[in-house]
Amino acid sequence: MALTFTVVKRFRPHAGVRRGLIDITFDALGPTWIVTKANLSLKGKIWNLILPAHIDGFVLASVPVSGNATITIDARQEESVAAGGGLVAAAASDLNTKVVRCEYIGY
């Protein structure tokens, strides 16, 4: 399996900048996933992928990769205060089939 991308809305390009909303469905290959410019129908670079901060007790972060042709999504699980209260890597299948709505900006 791989990430599934569903277009929610693409905004009209302005000065070459493209922006849109997409739903990303996670697979069981996590806790990190790669999003490419082709996944977002961009030809140039991904400037930003805005994710929700939390989903079902997990913290999501987007990490740009050198050259901005790809972005890595990283999922961490929130530990209870009794267990130390930090963030630990999520298990591979923890977010399987979960869907998040994201905004992307690029060209």
- CATH at residue 54: 2.60.40
Higher pLDDT, 86 or 16: 16
Residue range of the domain that includes 86: 4-106
- Tell me what percent of the residues of the chain surpass a pLDDT of 90: 64
Nearest to 54 by CA among 35, 33, 26, 75: 75
pLDDT average, residue stretch 83-90:
76
Q: What is the pLDDT of residue 92?
A: 79
pTM: 0.86
Q: How many structural domains is the chain composed of?
A: 1
C-beta of residue 91 within 8 angstroms of C-beta of residue 106? no
